[in-house]
Structure 1
Amino acid sequence: MAPKSSAASFSILLLIIAPLLLFQQPWSTADPLPADGAADCPGNDKATLTDGVPAGRKLLQTVEAELPFPPLQVSSNGRPCVMFQARKLALRYERRKQVDLTERAFSPRKSVDTSQSLCRRDTATLVMQFGDVDDLRGLSIRMHLSNTFYESSGQWWFSVDSVSLLYNSSQEAVFNASDVYAPSSSSYTCSRVSSLERHSALLRPGSDRARRWTLTFTDFQIQAFNVTSGGFSPASDCAAFLTPAILMGLVTSLILLLVLAYAMHLLVHLNRIENEGERKAHARFLHSHEQLEGCCAENADDKDAP
C-alpha cells in the first residue's frame, strides 16, 4: 500500500500548487526600464501580414503623450503628407559623445529644413536637414516610407522602410526598418525605435558604416499618406500581445500541466498494479482454502472408513 499512498500524496500536492503557479503573474524577461522612458518595444524580424493584419499588433489605441514640442508636419501641394513626432532624437558615432537632435528637429524656434521632402501616392521621403552639428558637416536624416494596398484586408498600410544618416557631404549610413508599419487610417507609435539590441533593434544596420552608428527615437510616432491637419489618428502600437513575460508564463503553465498529467497517469498505473496484486492474492487464498477443505474432507472419509 506504500506506493499508492506516496503517489496519492504527490498528486494532491500538485493539485494544490499547480493553480497557484498557473495563475501567478508571469515574470518579465525584459531589460529594466530606462530612466527617461517607458517600456521597450518587443521586436522581432519584420512580421508578415496575415490576411492584411499584422500578428500580435495592438490596433487603434489612443495615444495621449504630452511631448515638449509639436509634431513635425510635411505638406505636398498644400495638403499634409507626413506627420512625425518624438520625445527624443539622439545619435552616437562609435564611443563618441551622444548628439541630441530633439530641439533642432521639433522646436518651433529652430525649425529644421524639410524642403527636400517628397510625397507621392505610394512613396514618401521625410528629409530633415540639420546642417553642421558638432564635427558633422551637412547632417541630415531621411525616412523612406511606402504605402501598399492589401486586398485581403481591403485597406492601405504604410510602413517606414529605412532610415538614412547623411553627413560630411557624401557619407551615408542606412538602417533598414523592421515592424514599423500601420494602417494608413492610423498612426504608428512605439516607445523606442532604435538600432540598439536592448531596445529591440527595430532599425537594423544596412551597411558596415551604419554599424558604427546608434540611432534612437524615444516615444516615436508617425503617420503618412492619410494625414489631417487636426493631428494624429488613433495609433497602432508596436507592443505585441505575446510579450516575453506572457510567453514564459505560458511555457511554465504547459510544463506544470504535463507534470500533473504524468502524475495522474502514474497514480492510475499504480492503482491498476495494486488491484491486480489483490486479485492474485485473493485467488491464491481461495485456492489454498479449497485445498484445505479438500484435505479435511479426505481425512474425514478416511476416519469413517471401516
Structure 2
Amino acid sequence: MCRCCDADGFGRERRRVSYDHGSLFTADEMRLPLQPHDWRPQLSRRKLLQYGGIMPYSPLNVVYNGKTCILFRARKLAIRYRNHTLVDLTLRVFGPDAIVDTRGSFCSKDKAILNIRFGDVEEIRGLAIRLQMSNTFYESAGQNWFTLDSVHIHYNWTHEATFNATDVYAPSTNSYHCQHVSSLQKYDTLLVPSSVTDNAAHWHITFTDFQIQAFNVHSNKFSSATDCATFFTPAILMGLITSLILLLVLAYALHMVVHLKHIDRYEEHKTTVYFPRSTEAENTDKNNL
C-alpha cells in the first residue's frame, strides 16, 4: 500500500490511498460513517439462520493478499438508469463462464471494499459497482458488527451515483442475507440516495436474494446468516390480531352458553309462591256474591 498527497484548486492537500489492486480512493471515502451515539444493532429484530436456499450460482470469492476475505452472491442483480431498459448483470458476475474483474477490492480488519468492474454494458461505458463495508465494536452489544455503509455506481468513466445503506448489518462472525436490497420503495428502500442532488436519484439498483460476508471468512463458506426479515412481519402481525379477535369471540360465546345453562337451572328449581288470604278478604268476597 502506498500513500500520496496532491493539492486541489484551492491549494489544500487531499490525501488519497492506493491499494495493491491499483484502485484509487480518497481518504474521505474510507472514513467510517458516523452513527448516532446511542445507536446499537437491533439483534432482537433479526432472525439468525443457516441459509439453506438453493442458489443457481456459486458465490463470488474475492481474494486479497492470497486469502479469501469477501463472499458475495445474489440470485439477481439488476440496474436501471432513468427510463432506460433494465440491465441484468447477474450472469456477468455469477455465470459459470463469467470472468469477474474485482480489481480495487480491499480487505482489512475494520474495512472492506468489494469492487466489481463490468466495462461497457450496452450504452453504459466503464460501469463498475462498489460496496463499502466496515467492522466496528459496539460496547452495548458486546461484540463486533459489520455494516454495509454505501453502494456506488461508477459509469461513463467520470460519473458516480452513491447510495447510503440503511439497516444492513450483522455480527462480524455471521453473514448477512436479505430477500431484497434495493433502492425501490416496494422493497423497503434499503438503499437511499446520499443526497437530493446526487446522481443516484436517476438510478435504480436491486439485489435479489442478497448475501454477503466481508469479515471472518473461513473455508470459503458463508457463516450462519443474519436475515433482514423481522420476527413480526406485517403478515405475522395480521395473523396475531385475527387470532386474538377469534379468541375473544370464542370466549364471549362460551360465556353466553354458561350463562344460559345457569338460567335454565334456576328455572327448574323455582317454586310457586302461595300467599294465604285473610278472613276479612274472604268475607268481603262472600258479601259481594
| TM-superposed deviation, 1:133 | 1.6
Distance 2:41 2:81 in 1: 38
Correspondence 1:1-150 to 2 at 5 A: 54-68=43-57, 70-107=58-95, 109-150=97-138
Assess, with a 3 A threshold, how the Cα gap between structure 1 residues 77 and 252 changes in structure 2: closer, same or farther: same
| TM-superposed deviation, 1:124 | 1.6
TM-score, with normalisation over the residues of structure 1?
Answer: 0.66
The reply to whether residue 248 of structure 1 matches residue 231 of structure 2 is no
* C-alpha distance after superposition, 1:55-91 (max 9, x if no partner): 33220324352323x3222233332221111222111
Structure 2 counterpart of 1:221, one-letter code = Q
In structure 2, the residue matched to 1:196 is 184
Assess, with a 3 A threshold, how the Cα gap between structure 1 residues 170 and 239 changes in structure 2: closer, same or farther: same
Assess, with a 3 A threshold, how the Cα gap between structure 1 residues 63 and 149 changes in structure 2: closer, same or farther: farther
Correspondence 1:261-272 to 2 at 5 A: none
Bigger share in strand: 2
In structure 2, the residue matched to 1:181 is 169
| TM-superposed deviation, 1:150 | 3.0
Structure 1 counterpart of 2:55, one-letter code = E
| TM-superposed deviation, 1:174 | 1.9
Secondary structure of 2:222's counterpart equals coil
Secondary structure of 2:201's counterpart equals helix
Secondary structure of 2:207's counterpart equals strand
Bigger share in helix: 1
Assess, with a 3 A threshold, how the Cα gap between structure 1 residues 51 and 265 changes in structure 2: closer, same or farther: farther
Mapped contact 1:63–1:235 kept (Cα < 8 A):
no
- Which structure has more relative contact order (CA 8 Å, sep 6+)? It is 1
Secondary structure of 1:124's counterpart equals strand
Distance 1:51 1:157 in 2: 10
Mapped contact 1:147–1:156 kept (Cα < 8 A):
yes
Distance 1:146 1:56 in 2: 21
The reply to whether residue 239 of structure 1 matches residue 232 of structure 2 is no
Distance 2:168 2:53 in 1: 20
Mapped contact 1:193–1:216 kept (Cα < 8 A):
yes
The runs of at least 4 consecutive aligned structure 1 residues that moved more than 6 Å come to: 262-272
| TM-superposed deviation, 1:107 | 4.0
* C-alpha distance after superposition, 1:14-36 (max 9, x if no partner): xxxxxxxxxxxxxxxxxxxxxxx
* C-alpha distance after superposition, 1:145-180 (max 9, x if no partner): 111223344322212122111112332222222332
Structure 1 counterpart of 2:128, one-letter code = S
Secondary structure of 2:235's counterpart equals helix
Mapped contact 1:60–1:186 kept (Cα < 8 A):
no
Structure 2 counterpart of 1:296, one-letter code = T
Query: How many pairs are equivalent?
Result: 244
Q: Which moved more, 1:194-203 or 1:120-129?
A: 194-203
Assess, with a 3 A threshold, how the Cα gap between structure 1 residues 51 and 254 changes in structure 2: closer, same or farther: farther
In structure 1, the residue matched to 2:158 is 170
Gaps of 5+ in 2: 1-37
Secondary structure of 1:55's counterpart equals helix
Assess, with a 3 A threshold, how the Cα gap between structure 1 residues 300 and 182 changes in structure 2: closer, same or farther: same
Distance 1:61 1:268 in 2: 50
Mapped contact 2:105–2:112 kept (Cα < 8 A):
yes
Q: What is the aligned-residue RMSD (CA, Å)?
A: 3.6
Secondary structure of 1:253's counterpart equals helix
In structure 2, the residue matched to 1:296 is 279
Distance 2:238 2:62 in 1: 43
